[in-house]
Amino acid sequence: MKEGIPVPAPIASMPGVSQHTLESLVKEARELVSRGISGVLLFAVPGHKDASGSQAGDPAGISQRGLTALKEELGDDAVVIADLCLCEYTSHGHCGVLDGAWVDNDATLERYEQIAVAQARAGADIVAPSGMMDGQVGAIRAALDDAGFTDTVILAYTAKYASSFYGPFRDAAEGAPQFGDRRSYQQDPANLDEATREAALDVAEGADALMVKPATHYLDVLRAIKDRFGLPTAAYNVSGEYSMLMAAAQRGWIDERAATLETLTAIRRAGADLIVTYHAKKAAEWLS
């Protein structure tokens, strides 16, 4: 969803996906749920960005308005998940508060606490911290509990890799870093052990479910985390994975339906209890 646009705006690098207005977001969510999809994950692009990402936790901000509208429309028909990060809201495009050229982990945790409570108040059933800050799950759990949201679920991005497959999403969310990259707080694609260590920390801090991102290139990570911890485990089939498949399908090089369902089946087979995917709308129709 994007603030300030009069009509949905197609995303050139993600065929079939658009930035939504508040009104079209609610309509799209209702259609998704009517096809059997059990939840929606909201990302929002504000009209104003600043160094602290102040709009991320603003009760009147576009994210909270979107969450409230979704919850009012969907009720108990589907879960509403809030992405909890700062990259879409900061002028510099990083996932936290900066101290010079570096992300200040502790200052960022304070912002995450405030954002989580704002999202829960707005109607989020689940908050999904994706910034990969040390201690983020424990800080968010404590803040939610202190504010009375003891039943709000935390879906922790426990293994979010510094992947080359995020490009189209960064176009969509308008959150690419203005300098540097995110390798200091995202994980090395070659490192499986780090993912399991991070998962153990998130579990100890109170995570209710764990996310692996990306999905198809990290199925071994997904299986390792599912086998070791046994918590509900999600996989994010990210924008670059989606866009590659769609580009090949549009050129007639592969069959879109067959390739999509094969991809989602592989992710499910590897252990995913939940799949976040831009293929959801068509896949639900094909599987019905």
Q: Report, as an integer, the average pLDDT of 175-198.
A: 75
Return the sign of the alpha-carbon dihedral for residues 215, 241, 93, 21: negative
Distance from C-alpha of 199 to C-alpha of 219, rounded to nearest angstrom? 15
- Any idea which residues carry the catalytic annotation? 160, 213
The residue count of the chain comes to 288
Residues 111-156: tens digit of each pLDDT: 999 999 999 999 999 999 988 889 999 999 999 999 999 999 999 9
In this model, does residue 174 exceed pLDDT 70? no
- Averaged pLDDT score across all residues of the chain: 93
- Output the pLDDT for position 95: 81
- Output the pLDDT for position 5: 95
Which whole-number Å values give the CA distances from 30 to 60, 82, 191, 259, in the listed order? 23, 17, 39, 26
Residues 210-238: tens digit of each pLDDT: 999 999 999 999 999 999 999 999 999 99
Domain 9-213 has CATH 3.20.20.70: yes
Beta strands at 39-42 and 79-84: parallel, antiparallel or unpaired = parallel
In this model, does residue 177 exceed pLDDT 60? no
Show me where the domains of the chain are located. Answer: 9-213
Distance from C-alpha of 250 to C-alpha of 113, rounded to nearest angstrom? 43
- Output the pLDDT for position 176: 56
| % of the chain surpassing 70 pLDDT | 94
Residues 75-95: tens digit of each pLDDT: 999 999 999 999 889 988 788
Ramachandran sector of residue 19 (left: φ over 0; alpha: ψ -120 to 50; beta: rest): beta
Q: Is the pTM of this model over 0.85?
A: yes
